Structure 1
């Protein structure tokens, strides 16, 4: 300091305690978990500091992948459904095979009956009323695969 300068008076300010004034507050129902928790800390000199607790931010949880993929589950369910239907499909194919065999047998039976009727018509006994050739073989000798009459 220079001699020409005069010392300046220093003012010291001491904090004053403020008497709490209580005002009735309106109570509004709030869902739990929407209002952050209020924490109060008592300092060594007896003062109480109140404030909101600050929690460290947590990263978003990573979606846990299921042990089995959705595609595998869908394929398995499709296989179970197909297995449930296979019984009905087996019965259906068995029914179609039996029906085919039955129709085949009916066709064969009709062919035998109709063929028999045709054979009777062609080779059956008819009165000989028309011109024709009658051959009577009385004695025939077959020697060495030759017919001698």
Structure 2
């Protein structure tokens, strides 16, 4: 029913089970501690595997978590945002005061100009209308019929 080179059906195959063989824990023979200068090559550690192979590599220092007491109570970003807000409020308040000051100064200068116009206008009015009322140093000019011929005045 099956050709000769075709695989056997599952019922006729022999079942083989493979179990992994556990290795005993590796023995670590660390390299002797060598004082390491900053920016120097770190120490090298070697591990001997059970089958006799030796694996050599750089030792990795474990990372030390940052202590909780060293962290500030408030983050720097929060402090920067708060200081920026305070500065913005100070600038806005200063701008409001500056615009109020400019408006007051404009009103003051306008009132000074009006006062100067009233005083000068009053002085002019006194000069015009007050000259007829008193005798003395005034000059009287009589204007008669004049004939003007060829830019000559004949009066």
Same fold (TM over 0.5): no
TM-score (norm 2): 0.43
Structure number with higher relative contact order (C-alpha < 8 Å, ≥ 6 residues apart): 2
Structure ID, larger Rg? 1
After TM superposition, the score normalised by the length of structure 1 is 0.44
